[in-house]
Chain A
Amino acid sequence: MNKALVILWKDALSEFRARELVPSVLVFALLVIVIFHFAFELGAERARSVAPGILWVTFTFAGVLGLNRSFAQEKERGSLAGLVLCPVDSDTIYLGKMLSSLMFMLIVEAIILPIFSILFNLFVFMPELAVIAVLATVGFASVGTLFSALAVNTKTREIMLPILFFPIVSPVIIAAVKATELALAGGSWANLSSWLEIIGTFDIIFLVVASLVFEFVIEE
């Protein structure tokens, strides 16, 4: 666990110095929101009903872009090979990479949320939303880390990741949208519970499964 945190520290420091990933993904997310607005020509009432969907589509696309870029960078610099040289378990490497992807995605989401709130004139700063976002993003990170490590080793890496990622995390997206809908409409924690349970169960199952199979993806 300790070593996983060291990996997280290293990734965080690298990104903080490079400032490549977060800005570019943020810009992309902003573009997605704007395009949606134009595509749907949203008036106030319609905006409210499609907002959860748009929010989660934005988070999903931004997440995929970020995952792709982050592992592509690792591969280009050969730094993943450096990690494999170390006497570290593959599930520790998985955990470390997952935590750094998680941190990265949460940062992007935290910045997007206020912008979204303004553009859609919706109040989104409620604890329910934070919980939904964190749980769902863990789901994204758990599956995404596994698949981006895989996709980066294929010929068509930009396409391969979405094709792998979207079908598998579809339950998370569905549940997150539903829960967000309920939360924005003023639902109580009780209403949200079944959706949160689904996301939570997904997270646990896939964290375990992904860490088990990760070694087969990074071995050569």
Chain B
Amino acid sequence: MEGKTSGLAPTGWAIEVQGLTKSFEGRLALNGVDLKVRRGEVLSVFGPNGAGKTTLIKVLATLLKPTAGQVRVAGLDLRESSMEIRRRIGVITHQTFLYDELTAFENLKFYGKMYDVPNLKERIYEVMAKVGLASRIHHQVRTLSRGMQQRLAIARAVLHSPSIMLLDEPETGLDEYAHAMLVEMLSASNGGERTVVMTTHSLERGFEIGDRVAILVEGKIAYEESKLCLDAVTLRERYYRYTGASRRGDS
């Protein structure tokens, strides 16, 4: 299912997934996922609980090994070059991956060193300003509110200027400020050729941000379409059709 982009020839897939399967102890979380994401594209993935959204993000983030199937991220094979892939991806999940006792600055300094970020000190101030936390830079993480922690997590994820962002339900735990900022960052990413794969519960938000949408049901992609061929109403209708959810159920 080809999506229609702005007429530029694709310069290479940012993410290619073929027949991705992941099973845990008899439970099949992903059952033959096929997916292709272009460079600079924003893909929103919807699906009910248990569909495999988090698992998909974790596999792309090199946190889980596939049971079967081929995965290429940034042109690199997942099984062979996971280290190199990690340099190029930024991950935001429910976990903040932040150390409570350390200050925001120290957290970013730690990750910055792990990622070999050049000019670390300037870069830290730069991203902290972007996420609106410049005034809290030397405060311990545990003194920050949940919303601020999520913003710091965003700062952590973009610190090393990754070309691919993987977000697992980022709307949870974000306050309004953080969310608006995230939306702005993600939309701005298209100009900067940043690829985004985002799983979300919110049809509105996902549709608003994404260039393409996909619906994941029971470990498989049930539906995939470019935003240009859809409107919000049709998307919702498709979603209910494929997930068989009642009107009152999932968002």
Give yes or no for direct A-B contact (beta carbon below 8 Å). Answer: yes
Residues of A within 8 A of B (CB): 2-3, 6, 9-10, 13-14, 17-18, 77-79, 81-89, 219-220
The answer to whether the Cβ of B185 comes within 8 Å of any Cβ in the partner chain is no
| Known contacts A10-B102, A17-B102, A89-B83; A81/B97 CB under 8 A | yes
Given A85-B62, A87-B84, A87-B116, 19 additional A-B pairs, CB 8 A: A3-B114, A6-B113, A10-B99, A14-B99, A17-B140, A18-B100, A18-B101, A78-B97, A79-B97, A79-B99, A82-B97, A82-B98, A84-B62, A84-B63, A85-B86, A85-B91, A86-B115, A87-B114, A88-B114
The answer to whether the Cβ of B234 comes within 8 Å of any Cβ in the partner chain is no
The answer to whether the Cβ of B95 comes within 8 Å of any Cβ in the partner chain is yes
Contact status B61-A85, CB under 8 Å: yes
Q: Which secondary structure dominates where chain A touches chain B? A: helix
Contact status A220-B65, CB under 8 Å: yes
A contact residues around B97 at 8 Å (CB) = 78-79, 81-82, 85
A contact residues around B84 at 8 Å (CB) = 87
Interface string of B36-50 (1 = CB under 8 A from A): 000000000000000
Contact status B64-A13, CB under 8 Å: no
B contact residues around A78 at 8 Å (CB) = 95, 97
Contact status B102-A14, CB under 8 Å: yes
Give Cα A220–Cα B106 distance, bound, in whole angstroms.
Answer: 28
Which residues in window 72-111 of B have CB below 8 A to A? 83-84, 86-87, 91, 95, 97-102, 106, 110-111
Interface centre among B62, B91, B101 (most CB of A within 10 A): B101
Give Cα A88–Cα B98 distance, bound, in whole angstroms.
Answer: 17
| Known contacts A13-B106, A87-B87; A77/B63 CB under 8 A | no
Listed by A's residue number, 26 A-B pairs whose Cβ atoms lie within 8 Å are: A2-B113, A9-B110, A10-B110, A13-B102, A17-B101, A17-B140, A18-B100, A79-B99, A81-B63, A81-B95, A82-B95, A82-B97, A85-B61, A85-B63, A85-B86, A86-B86, A86-B111, A86-B114, A87-B86, A87-B87, A87-B115, A87-B116, A88-B114, A89-B83, A220-B64, A220-B65
